[in-house]
Amino acid sequence: KLPLESIQVVLEELRKNGNLEWLDKNKTNFLIMWRRPEEWGKLIYQWVLKNGLTNSVFTLYELVSGDDTENEEFHGLDETMLLRALQALQQEHKAEIITLDDGRGVKFF
């Protein structure tokens, strides 16, 4: 058991490193991330490059649940974190999140 002050120090350190995000202003709810969205994006983009899939379009489902990604670390990634990772890639002009008839997808560059 840690005192509240010690817990707050640990949580603040996680936030500084980008592995924690406060979900409310009172700092009572938070999201702890194993990897930052940028790190997930990098792993996804490495897979795209390794497999020659630039200029390809994928549904979000295909990326995290498809047979092609079964052995990848991002397989099974939560959709919220996946979207954050893809937004990070979009800011780097490596991907574009698109709306498809049956949901969302992504095109890699």
Q: What is the DSSP letter of 27?
A: S
Per-residue pLDDT at 84: 94
Q: Which of 75, 69, 82 is nearest to 33 (CA)?
A: 82
DSSP 95: E
Fold of 37-108: Arc Repressor Mutant, subunit A (1.10.10)
Q: What does the pLDDT read at residue 99? A: 92
In this predicted structure, what is the pLDDT of residue 35?
95
Give pTM, 2 decimals. 0.84
Average pLDDT of the chain to the nearest whole number: 95
Residue-level pLDDT at 102: 78
**List of the chain residues with pLDDT < 50:** none
Cα–Cα dist 80/103, whole Å:
14
Which pLDDT score, from 0 to 100, does residue 52 have?
Answer: 97
